Amino acid sequence: MSELLSKESKADVLELQDKIERFKRGEIPEERFKAFRLTRGVYGQRQADVQMFRLKLPYGKISSDQLRTIAGLSEKYTNGKLHFTTRQNIQLHYIKLVDTPEIWEELESSGLTARESCGNTVRNITASPFAGIDPEEPFDVSPYVQAVFEYFLRNPVCQDMGRKIKMAFSASERDAAFTYIHDFGFIPKIEDGVRGFKVVVGGGLGAQPFVAETAYDFLPAGQVIPFIEAGLRVFDRYGEREKRQKARLKYLIDPKKGIGLDEFLRLVEEEKTSLPYKTYEIEAQDKEFEQPLHYNVSTIKLSDQQAFELWRETNTFQQKQSDYYGVTVRIPLGNISAAVARSLATIAENYATNDIRITVNQGILFRFVPEENLQFIYSELHLLGLHQPGFDTLADVTACPGTDTCNLAVTDSTHISLVLEDLIRDEYPHLVAESNIKIKISGCMNSCGQHMIANIGFHGSSIKSEGKVAPAMQVVLGGGVDRDGKGFVAEKVIKVPTKRIPNVVRTLLEEYELNAEEGEYFNDFFQRKGKIYFYDLLKHLSDNSTFRDEDFQDWGKQVDFLPEIGVGECAGVMLDLVGTILQDSEDHLLKSKKALVDNEWASAIYSAYNSLVIGAKAILLGEDVRCNTHKGIINDFQEKIYAADLIRLDRPYDELVLQINKHEPTEAFAYSYVDQANDFLRKIVDFRKSKQVVLNDDQVVVSSHYKA
């Protein structure tokens, strides 16, 4: 194993190898193994026997050498393709499970990871790709994103939550990172010379979008990590786990369906006693950037100067460092070959700086480009076919992979995206630079293509007509961030067959150009006219009496549409054993003991907490008691097991467990709490054994509510 790997990375690789071997021998149930591999970035694909492998790139930052490493991995282990995502990540498709430990080792050796890029964890932390060079930013948020990423990576607080957590940091009030759709969002501010953030919580997309609520108008920067950690602890304890579709933070803080924001913040304050850091200051000094290797020393002759000028207008901007430019590159569908990836890495080294950023609209950003290098970059991109103007404009359509690889996708996202980009370029060339209208497409309602924050959005669906099913897309309008940085979620308007979507776009653009008031933003136009107006405008395209044969075929297909929706990797599991859950409890206890050896008191305490709760869950399920939240488990075990005198403890169970937020994470308390968790596990295992004498077998739990 490479000497470049850290101790933690080596442990991750070895554990992944061990789990795969045990899974292949039948020693680990498939669903339990799935939960493990997801937290290692290994995600099931639509096609059988292959996986999607996702990296974790905080704020989309990647070096030229790292990009070359990923290019090499894509050629060695898969189809030689890289996919950039809307969460500033890179995904590789068609990976064999047995190859993932070797991929992990090479990634970790180059300073990259896939740890917690999938599963019920803190996912990749996104940020404005312009952070550090944005002329409007109060300060560079990149060091803060990096610190949050490092703090919560492998942190026991977020390894086994009820659902995923997504965070974003904007660079300015314009909110280019879309903080308003995240579980935790941060917008930088300076008050009285102190750096801090406006904090929003509880945003989300999916089938039921929520706009995040403001938790703090200003939170000092040193309070960011303690606030997140306390918030995660509250979410872990009170968040839904049985009903997966209700298990996000947005439902917990909803006053109608959860505890509400005020109660959430009260519980956050209550949790702060147990935190290892009451403040966590982050070093945020401006770092020197590497100069490009080559400067323009002679004038390059371009074949089409006008095309270059349009590209310069739409794909470059002057940084806050006035001597330099940021250069953005459109990547159609976010897909590139390994060869193109290597070329982009070389362009960065030669003409920019060795600090490439993947953008939230699936493109890339070169930073610190001297003005005299712009023509050279353009000419190099032209050779790659990546010189098209209109980055992050109407002509730059965002789309998820859809039915190409995703289990949950209903309809195609990729072919239609390219059709729409061609439509804008060919029929509306004067709108290629239109940056106030965005088109985004998802293959299903889950919004991986972020359709609900598009001015014009689409998600996969279907329409029944005379015994047949037509592939369709739900049209949504009015999402995105306005000129003042206020975020909006789009409204559903109408479903239309996928083959008619180009006519939907034509109709909307022509209506906007014809009837919008001078300088009127598209979303303002939509609000002024109203949803019903646009429904009536598009209704003729949804009339099934006019359907033709082609309307029953999806883009890229020559046969009639047949819905084939698989089971997503985030779906609830339907089978588990009480004994397996007890083993989970023991595993957490072992982690707590290891943390004691490493003098990591807070980690030891939280792992012991997990052992106590998961152990109680096993006993409750054995007694046919449903488990949907950690708090519910604590209450039910106290009432139905401890109070019923089925298991005797030295103190009430709820008091035992909830010591965690009553004590500072000291060495003395850590040892005491782990000892109590060890004693509790011994007693519940003895109780289970006494039950099995009667049952003569381990009880099977056929349900999804064990996930708590």
548 & 406 share domain = yes
Structure tokens of 506? 């034509």
Residue 627 in this model has a pLDDT that exceeds 90: no
Q: Please, what's the b/e burial string for 578-591 (b: 16 or more CB within 10 A of its CB; e: otherwise)?
A: bbbbbebbbebbeb
Residue 1 maps to a domain: no
651-661 pLDDT per residue, tens: 999 999 999 99
**What CATH number should be reported for the domain holding residue 43?**
3.90.480.20
- Give the pLDDT confidence score for residue 291 in this predicted structure: 74
pLDDT for the residue numbered 696: 46
The verdict on 586 and 532 lying in the same domain is no
Q: Does residue 142 contact residue 221 with C-beta atoms inside 8 Å?
A: no
Q: Distance (Å, rounded) from C-alpha 58 to C-alpha 52?
A: 19
- In whole angstroms, what separates CA 286 from the centre of its chain? 27
Same domain, 77 and 205: no
- Do the domain assignments include residue 563? no
Does residue 316 belong to any structural domain of this protein?
yes
* pLDDT for 286: 66
Q: Is the pLDDT of residue 578 over 90?
A: no
Query: CA 13, CA 8: separation in Å to the nearest integer?
Result: 9
> So what's the pLDDT on residue 517?
95
Residues 93 and 170 in one domain: no
Residue 211 and residue 89 share a domain:
no
Between CA 472 and CA 47 the distance in angstroms is: 22
Neighbouring C-alpha atoms within 13 Å toward the C-beta of 150: 9
Query: Distances from the Cα of 664 to the Cαs of 168, 312, 598, 660, in angstroms?
Result: 29, 56, 18, 8
Kindly indicate the confidence band of residue 573, based on its pLDDT and cuts at 50, 70 and 90.
very low
Rounded CA-CA distance 392/395 in Å is 8
What value does the mean pLDDT take over residues 355-376? 95
User: For residue 610, is it within any domain?
Assistant: yes
Is residue 411 within 8 A of residue 562, CB to CB? The reply is no
Domain end (from 109, 141, 170): 109
CATH number at residue 693: 1.20.120.330
| Among candidate residues 357, 384, 411, the one where a domain is terminated | 384
Which of 84, 109, 134 terminates a domain? The answer is: 109
CA dihedral 670, 671, 674, 678 (to 10 degrees): -170
Domain range for 582: 576-707
118 assigned to some structural domain = no
Domain annotation covers residue 605: yes
Q: How far apart are CA 159 and CA 162, in angstroms?
A: 10
Higher per-residue pLDDT: 610 or 560? 610
For residue 574, what pLDDT is reported? Answer: 32
Pair 13, 131 in one domain:
no
Amino acid at residue number 276? P
Do the strands 194-201 and 184-191 form a parallel or antiparallel pair, or are they unpaired?
A: antiparallel
704: pLDDT strictly greater than 70: no
Q: What share of the chain is helix, strand, coil (3-state, %, to 5)?
A: 45, 15, 40
Q: Indicate whether 567 pLDDT > 70.
A: no
Q: Distance of alpha carbon 471 from its chain centroid, rounded?
A: 27
Rounded to whole angstroms, how far apart are CA atoms 356 and 358?
7
End-to-end CA distance of the chain: 36
Whether residue 59 sits in one domain with residue 173: no
pLDDT at position 401 is 87
3-state secondary structure 244-300: HHHCCHHHHCCCCCCCCHHHHHHHHHHHHHHCCCCCCCCCCCCCCCCCCCCCCCCCC
For residues 129 and 140, give the distance between their C-alpha atoms in angstroms, rounded to a whole number.
11
- 188 in any annotated domain: yes
Mean pLDDT of the 683-688 span? 93
- State how far the alpha carbon of 695 is from the alpha carbons of 358, 576, 698, in Å: 56, 17, 7
pTM, rounded to two decimals:
0.92
pLDDT at 464 over 50: yes
Whether residue 547 is found in the same domain as residue 415: yes
Into how many domains does the chain fold?
Answer: 5
Statement: residue 495 has pLDDT above 50: yes
Whether 504 maps to a domain, the answer reads yes
- The helix or strand, by DSSP H or E, that contains position 488, with its residue range, turns out to be strand 487-488
Distance of CA 614 to the CA centre of its chain: 26
User: pLDDT tens digit string along 233-266?
Assistant: 999 999 998 887 788 999 999 998 899 999 999 9
Could you give the 3-state DSSP secondary structure of residue 480? strand
594 with 603: CB under 8 angstroms? no
My answer on whether 133 and 266 are in the same domain is: yes
* Average pLDDT score over the chain: 91
pLDDT band at 199 (very low <50, low <70, confident <90, very high): very high
pLDDT at 361 over 90: yes
Q: CA-CA distance, 33 to 26, in Å (whole number)?
A: 10
Q: How far is CA 538 from CA 122, 412, 431, 454, in A?
A: 40, 21, 21, 18
d(CA 112, CA 294): 27
Pull the structure tokens for residue 247.
Answer: 């298990």
CATH number at residue 322: 3.30.70.3340
Element (H, E) at 15: helix 7-24
Q: What is the CATH classification number for the domain harbouring 164?
A: 3.30.413.10
Cα 467 to chain centroid, rounded: 38
Q: How far is CA 460 from CA 284, 374, 451, in A?
A: 43, 39, 10
Q: Six-digit token pair at 303? A: 């074949």
Q: How far apart, in whole angstroms, are the C-alpha atoms of residue 242 and residue 705?
A: 4
My answer on whether 427 and 545 are in the same domain is yes
- Domain co-membership, 423 together with 527: yes
Q: Tell me: the pLDDT tens digits for 505-541?
A: 999 999 999 999 999 999 999 999 999 999 999 999 9
E-strand stretches of 57-183:
61-62, 81-84, 90-95, 126-127, 167-169
pLDDT given at position 245: 78
Q: Which pLDDT belongs to residue 105?
A: 94
Q: 50 near 84, Cβ under 8 Å?
A: no
Query: How far apart (Å, rounded) are the C-alpha atoms in residues 679 and 174?
Result: 53
Q: How many angstroms separate the CA atoms of 164 and 60, rounded?
A: 19
Alpha helices of 78-223 — where are they, by DSSP H? 100-109, 142-152
Cβ atoms of 634 and 619 within 8 Å: the answer is: no
For 16-51, the pLDDT digits (tens) are 999 999 999 998 888 788 889 999 999 988 888 899
Both 150 and 264 in a single domain? yes
Q: How far is CA 499 from CA 174, 276, 549, 560, 616, in A?
A: 35, 56, 10, 12, 54
Contact 618, 582 (CB under 8 A): yes
- In whole angstroms, what is the distance from residue 366 CA to residue 384 CA? 15
Please tell me the total number of residues recorded for the chain in this structure. Answer: 708
pLDDT exceeds cutoff 50 at 570: no
